[in-house]
Structure 1
Amino acid sequence: MSLAPLLDAAPVIPLHAFAAMAAFVLGLVQFSAPKGTMPHRTIGWIWVTLMAIVAASSFWIHQIRLVGPFSPIHLLSIFTLVMLPLAVWRAHSHRVTDHRRIMILLFTGALVVAGLFTLVPGRIMHRVIFGA
């Protein structure tokens, strides 16, 4: 395993990748830690910020071009940027079930599934994990 392919990429790609990795780890913490506490809220705000960075930075990554400079993965970024404030609003309005459902959807869809997509041969993270 070598971070060289990631660190040699355009600056937005390491930003995107490291924010996604941090969001993944914090997401696991959030799912296992007590809910409704001050640490949960603090880590939650950090997680939301990281997810916004991941989604927004994706618009400057154009390795796969299916529609102009964009690909279907960019639809996931738009979805994430719409759902993040909705999930926060649901928490603020004490609609915990909706908040939980949206956060689980974002974690599994935007981080886990999209993250697995980055391991496809030919992608930067594939080279980081498995080598050239």
Structure 2
Amino acid sequence: MDYKYLMYLHLVTVVPCFFIGTMLLLIKKGTYIHINFGRIYMILMVITAVITLFMPAEVGPRFLNHFGYIHSFSFLTIYTVPTAYRAIKKGNVKSHKRKMVLLYFGAILIAGGFTFTPGRYLHQLFFG
């Protein structure tokens, strides 16, 4: 099966998350903009995480002949987004902030960095 369409859909959902997440880390918290872009960010992050679960690991060892180490970031996202949302709804700003920072650095920066390693599509695209 050709998983290229899933990869493109994943990129369409995750690239905006990089920019929205960066903006959310930099702007004042609790504002109308923060709340609304935060909702968009959370929705896009869950969508992108679910998409990746259907994409088989192409690099490194596989579990169940499908999942690789990189999928741990998908599971991290699927767990973190609802718990961060619940935390802020309960007024636990500290927990919400910690989870959202973990999500950004883990699922966006670290997992995103892994996509540029040899054998992956983005490595091939950018470095030939």
User: Normalising to structure 2: TM-score of the pair?
Assistant: 0.90
2:45 aligns with 51
Identity value in percent: 31
Higher RCO, 1 vs 2 (CA within 8 Å, ≥6 residues apart): 1
What is the aligned-residue RMSD (CA, Å)?
A: 1.5
- CA offset at residue 58 of structure 1? 0.6
Where has structure 1 moved over 3 Å in runs of 4 or more?
A: none
CA distance in 2, matches of 1:40, 1:74: 28
Q: How does 1:41-80 map to 2 (within 5 A)?
A: 41-62=35-56, 63-64=58-59, 66-67=62-63, 68-80=65-77
Deviations 1:96-131 (A, max 9, x none): 11100000000000110000000012211112222x
1:37 aligns with 31
1:111 aligns with 108
Q: Which one-letter code corresponds to 1:19 in the other structure? A: T
Deviates more, 1:114-123 or 1:9-18: 9-18
> Mind listing any 5+ residue stretches in structure 1 that lack a counterpart?
1-7
- CA offset at residue 75 of structure 1? 2.3
User: Normalising to structure 1: TM-score of the pair?
Assistant: 0.87
